[in-house]
C-alpha cells in the first residue's frame, strides 16, 4: 500500500454535546469520518451542522463525549491532556478564518512560534520563518506587523506559520471566507501544494463553493451527521452543480 | 518563547505604561511612607543618641525619652551608692523660651550638664570651647539654634553674641552639631547649675541621672540593680530607645496612620496591576488560545505570564525606589520631613511587590489553565 493511500484521520461514531438541560445542543450525533494521507479533504455543510466541532475534536483541541478518534496512527481516546498538547504541537498545523496572528509580533516572529514550541533556537527559527515567508510570496514583509498587511497577506503568513514545523496534519477552518475570490484562490493554491507533500493531510472546513474544485474528497455534513462522502465521478458532479 | 512574551507585553503600550506606572506608584508610596515613618521613629530616640549615656535613671512613671518628670536632688546620691555604678551625674532638660534680637520668642531645649564632668556633652563641637560652660551665664547652641536665634540680626548669631533665655542673658561660647530632637527645638547646653538659674524655680529640678557602670560590668545588669534598689526607672540607652518606640506605637496614632498609607499603597498596587494585567490577559486570550492550540503547555504559558508580571514588577520597583531616593535627596538637606531609608523597608516593599505580581500573574494563569484551545475556532 502506497503511503498516499494510508489513513491519516479515522473518526468512528463520535458524539459531542454542549451545555445541559434546556440549553443542551448536540453538535455531533455519531460521526464517521476518515481522511487519507496526501489528500486535501473538504468538509462542507450548512451553518451549525457541526463542522467546526468535528475539526476541533480531530485536532485534539476539544474533548468529545463518545466514539473513537485516531490521528496519524495515534488513538486520542484516553490520552492525557499534556500528551495531546504535545502531540498537537508536533504534528498539527492550524489555519483560521480570522488568521489569529499575534498583532504585537512581527510576521517572522509569528511564523517562528511553532518552531520555538518545538524546541528550535530563536535564530534558527527566525531564519526558517523568513524562508517560509518567501515561499508564500511575502519576502519583504518579515519585519512588518500583521496589521500592516492585507487580509490575503495575513492568511499567507498564517499558512507559513502552520507549515513552519512541517506538520503532517493541517487543520483549516474557513480559510477563504474572509477573503475575496482571487485571493481565496491564491490561498487554496498554497494549501493544495502543501497537501501534495507525502505523508501530509489537509482538512478544510468551508461553506465557500468557490473552492470545492480543489478537493480530492468532500465530506458533507448535516445536523451533526455525515450524509455523503464524495470522490471520483460523484465529486465532479457535486462540484459542477454547486458552481 | 520568552522573548515573544516580553514583546507581547511591551507591544501593548497603554497597558504596559499603566502596569509600570501603578507598580511605580505603589513602590513609591510604600517605601517613601516607610522611610518617613522610620525617620520619625528615629527622631523619637535622637535625644538618647545626642546624650550618649550608658544608663538613664528617670522618675518611676516616665514612659519615653521625650518625657520629663522631676526627681529629688538627693536621688543622685542614692544612685551613686548602688554597687556597680562608676559615676552618676545630674541632668537638667527642659523647654524654655529664648528671645531673638527681633524680640520674637523661640522655644529651646535647655540641657544642663554636670559641671565637673560635662557628661552628656554635645556629639560634635563645631567651634568655641565646651569647657567655658563652667563660667556663669554661658551656653553652647547647635546649628538649628544658630538658624532660629539669628532672626532679626544682620549676620548669623555667633560665638560671643548674647541672647535671652527666660529673661536672663546667655552668652554663646560654642557652636555644636546635634541630631534633631523629636520636638524640633534647638539644643542649648549650659552647666547644670546655670540651667537651674535659667529655668523657672520649682521644688524639684532634676530631670534625669546619667550613669556610667564600672568597667567590665554589664550595663543592663547595673540598670536592673539601680531600679530595684532605688525604685526609680533605670534603662540602658538601648532599652530606653525601645521603650520610647514602643510608647509611640502604643499611645499615638502615628504608626497606624503610616501603616494605613503603606497598606493603601499595597492595595492600590494589587488593584491597579491585578486589574490591568487581568485585562491584558483577557485581551490576549485568543492569542493565548492559539498558542495553546499550537502546542504551548499551560505550564509554558504560566511561565510567560509570570515573566511578564515580574518584568513590570521589577521595572516598577526600580522606578519607585528611584523616586523615593530622589525624594530623600530633596528632603534630607532640609531635614523635614524625617527620612530614613532602611534595607529592611526595601526588602519589605520588594516582598510586597512579589506578592502583587504573583497575584496578578495568578489571575491570568487560572484563566489560561481553564482555557479551551478550541476557542480559536470561534468567530
Ligand atoms: N462552545 C459551544 N457551546 C455551546 N454550543 C456550541 C459550542 N460550540 C458549538 N456549539 C453549537 O454546536 C452546533 C455546531 O456548531 P459548529 O460550530 O460545529 O457548527 P459549524 O458547522 O462550524 O457552523 P458554521 O458554519 O456556522 O461555522 C451549533 O448549534 C453551535 O451553536
Ligand atoms: Mg464553523
Residue in chain A closest to B373 (alpha carbons) equals A61
B172 pLDDT band (50/70/90 cuts)?
Answer: very high
In angstroms, what is the span from residue B28 Cα to ligand 1's centroid?
50
Alpha carbon of A232: minimum distance to chain B alpha carbons (Å): 30
> Higher-confidence residue: B230 or B335?
B230
Rounded Cα distance between B231 and B194, Å, is: 28
Give the number of beta-carbon pairs within 8 Å between A and B: 78
Q: What is the mean pLDDT of chain B?
A: 91
CA distance B272 to chain A (A): 23
In tens, the pLDDT along A198-243 reads 889 999 999 888 889 899 999 999 999 999 999 989 889 988 888 7
Torsion angle of alpha carbons B149, B154, B156, B162, nearest 10°? -60
List pLDDT tens digits, range A156-168. Answer: 899 899 989 999 9
Domain over A36-56+80-242 is classified CATH 3.40.605.10 = no
- In chain A, the percentage of residues whose pLDDT exceeds 90 is 58
Confidence of residue A3 (pLDDT cuts 50, 70, 90): very low
* Cell numbers given for B70: 522631676
Q: Which of A56, A113, A114 sits opposite B377 (nearest CB)?
A: A56
Residue A5 pLDDT exceeds 80: no
State yes or no: pLDDT of B114 exceeds 70.
yes
Does the beta-carbon distance from B376 to A96 stay under 8 Å?
yes
Contact in structure between A107 and A138 (CB atoms under 8 Å): yes
Mean pLDDT for B26-30 is 90
Residue B377's pLDDT band, with cuts at 50, 70 and 90, is confident
CA A168–ligand 1 middle distance (angstroms): 26
Residue B285 predicted with pLDDT over 80: yes
> What residue's CA is closest to ligand 1, atom 16?
A50
Per-residue confidence (pLDDT) for residue B379, from 0 to 100: 62
Chain position carrying cell 465521478: A233
Task: State the pLDDT at residue B253.
Answer: 86
Identify whether B337 is preceded by a cis peptide bond (ω within 30 of 0). Answer: yes
Separation in Å, CA A107 to CA A12, A40, A103, B193, B208 = 39, 26, 9, 87, 79
Q: Residues 259 to 318 of B: which have CB under 8 A from any A CB? A: 286-287, 290-297, 300
SS (H, E, C) chain B: CHHHHHHHHHHCHHHHHHHHHHHHHHHHHHHHHHHHHHHHHHHHCHHHHHHCCCEEEECCCCCCCCCCCCECCCHHHHHHCCCCEEEEEEEEEEEEEEECCCCCEEEEEEEEECCCCCCCCCCEEEEECHHHHHCCCEEEEEHHHHHHHCCCCCCCCCCCCEEEECCEEEEEEEEEECCCCCCCCCEEEEEHHHHHHHCCCCCCCECEEEEEECCCCCHHHHHHHHHHHHCCEEEEHHHHHHHHHHHHHHHCCHHHHHHHHHHHHHHHHHHHHHHHHHHHHHHCHHHHHHHHHCCCCHHHHHHHHHHHHHHHHHHHHHHHHHHHHHHHHHHCCCCCCCCCCCHHHHHHHHHHHHHHHHHHHHHHHHHHHHCCHHHHHCC
Cell of residue B305, nine digits: 505570564
Q: What is the per-residue pLDDT across A199-211, written as a single tens digit (0 to 9) for each?
A: 899 999 998 888 8
The residue length of chain B stands at 379
The interface pTM score, or ipTM, of the predicted complex is 0.89
What per-residue confidence (pLDDT) applies to A1?
37
A149 sits in which H/E element: none
Residue A2 in this model has a pLDDT that exceeds 70: no
- Give the per-residue pLDDT at B373: 85
Residue B284 has pLDDT above 70, yes or no: yes
| Residues of chain B found within 8 Å of residue A88, distances taken between Cβ atoms | 293-295, 373
What value does the mean pLDDT take over residues B258-264? 89
Instruction: Give me the mean pLDDT over the B336-342 stretch.
Output: 84
Amino acid at each position: 500500500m502506497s503511503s498516499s493511500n494510508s489513513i491519516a484521520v479515522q473518526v468512528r461514531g463520535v458524539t459531542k454535546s454542549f451545555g445541559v438541560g434546556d440549553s443542551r445542543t448536540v453538535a455531533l450525533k455519531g460521526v464517521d469520518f476518515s481522511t487519507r494521507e496526501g489528500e486535501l479533504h473538504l468538509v462542507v455543510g450548512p451553518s451549525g451542522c457541526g463542522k467546526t466541532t468535528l475539526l476541533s475534536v480531530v485536532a485534539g483541541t476539544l474533548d468529545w463525549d463518545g466514539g473513537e478518534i485516531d490521528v496519524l496512527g495515534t488513538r486520542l481516546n484516553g490520552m492525557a491532556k499534556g500528551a495531546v498538547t504535545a502531540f498537537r504541537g508536533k504534528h498539527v498545523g492550524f489555519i483560521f478564518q480570522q488568521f489569529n496572528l499575534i498583532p504585537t509580533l512581527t510576521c517572522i516572529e509569528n511564523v517562528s512560534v511553532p518552531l520555538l514550541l518545538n524546541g528550535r533556537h530563536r535564530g534558527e527559527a527566525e531564519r526558517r520563518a523568513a524562508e517560509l515567508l518567501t515561499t508564500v510570496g511575502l519576502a519583504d514583509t518579515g519585519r512588518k506587523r500583521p496589521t500592516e498587511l492585507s487580509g490575503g497577506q495575513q492568511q499567507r503568513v498564517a499558512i507559513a506559520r502552520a507549515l513552519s514545523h512541517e506538520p503532517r496534519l493541517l487543520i483549516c477552518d474557513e480559510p477563504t471566507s474572509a477573503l475575496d475570490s482571487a485571493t481565496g484562490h491564491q490561498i487554496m493554491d498554497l494549501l493544495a501544494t502543501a497537501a501534495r507533500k507525502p505523508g501530509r493531510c489537509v482538512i478544510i472546513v468551508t461553506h465557500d463553493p468557490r473552492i470545492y474544485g480543489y478537493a480530492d474528497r468532500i465530506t458533507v455534513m448535516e445536523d451533526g451527521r455525515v450524509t455523503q462522502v464524495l470522490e471520483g465521478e460523484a465529486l465532479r458532479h457535486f462540484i459542477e452543480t454547486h458552481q | 518563547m520568552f522573548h515573544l512574551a516580553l514583546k507581547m507585553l511591551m507591544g501593548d503600550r497603554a497597558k504596559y505604561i499603566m502596569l509600570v506606572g501603578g507598580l511605580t506608584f505603589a513602590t513609591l508610596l510604600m517605601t517613601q511612607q516607610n522611610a518617613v515613618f522610620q525617620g520619625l521613629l528615629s527622631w523619637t530616640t535622637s535625644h538618647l543618641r545626642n546624650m550618649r549615656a550608658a544608663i538613664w535613671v528617670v522618675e518611676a512613671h516616665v514612659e519615653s525619652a521625650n518625657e520629663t518628670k522631676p526627681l529629688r536632688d538627693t536621688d543622685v546620691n542614692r544612685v551613686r551608692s548602688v554597687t556597680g555604678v562608676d559615676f552618676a551625674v545630674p541632668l537638667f532638660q527642659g523647654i524654655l523660651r529664648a528671645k531673638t534680637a527681633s524680640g520674637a520668642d523661640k522655644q529651646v531645649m535647655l540641657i544642663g550638664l554636670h559641671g565637673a564632668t560635662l557628661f552628656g556633652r554635645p556629639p560634635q563641637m563645631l567651634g568655641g570651647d565646651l569647657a567655658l560652660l563652667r563660667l556663669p551665664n554661658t551656653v553652647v547652641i547647635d546649628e538649628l539654634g544658630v538658624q532660629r536665634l539669628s532672626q532679626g540680626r544682620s549676620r548669623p548669631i555667633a560665638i560671643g553674641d548674647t541672647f535671652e533665655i527666660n529673661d536672663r542673658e546667655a552668652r554663646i561660647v560654642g557652636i555644636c552639631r546635634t541630631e534633631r530632637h523629636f520636638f524640633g527645638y534647638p539644643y542649648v547646653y549650659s552647666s547644670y547649675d546655670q540651667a537651674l538659674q535659667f529655668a523657672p524655680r520649682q521644688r524639684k529640678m532634676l530631670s534625669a541621672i546619667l550613669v556610667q557602670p564600672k568597667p567590665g560590668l554589664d550595663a543592663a545588669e547595673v540598670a536592673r540593680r539601680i531600679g530595684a534598689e532605688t525604685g526609680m526607672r533605670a534603662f540602658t540607652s538601648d532599652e530606653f530607645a525601645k521603650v520610647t518606640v514602643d510608647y509611640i506605637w502604643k499611645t499615638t496614632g502615628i504608626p497606624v496612620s503610616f501603616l494605613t498609607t503603606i497598606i493603601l499603597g499595597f492595595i492600590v498596587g494589587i488593584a491597579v496591576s491585578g486589574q490591568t494585567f487581568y485585562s491584558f490577559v483577557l485581551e490576549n486570550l485568543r492569542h493565548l488560545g492559539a498558542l495553546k492550540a499550537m502546542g504551548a503547555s499551560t505550564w509554558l504559558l504560566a511561565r510567560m505570564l509570570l515573566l511578564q508580571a515580574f518584568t513590570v514588577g521589577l521595572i516598577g520597583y526600580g522606578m519607585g525606589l528611584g523616586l523615593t531616593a530622589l525624594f530623600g535627596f530633596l528632603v534630607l538637606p532640609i531635614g523635614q520631613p524625617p527620612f530614613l531609608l532602611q534595607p529592611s523597608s526595601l526588602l519589605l516593599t520588594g516582598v510586597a511587590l512579589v506578592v502583587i505580581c504573583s497575584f496578578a500573574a495568578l489571575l491570568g494563569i487560572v484563566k489560561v489553565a481553564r482555557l479551551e484551545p478550541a476557542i480559536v475556532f470561534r468567530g
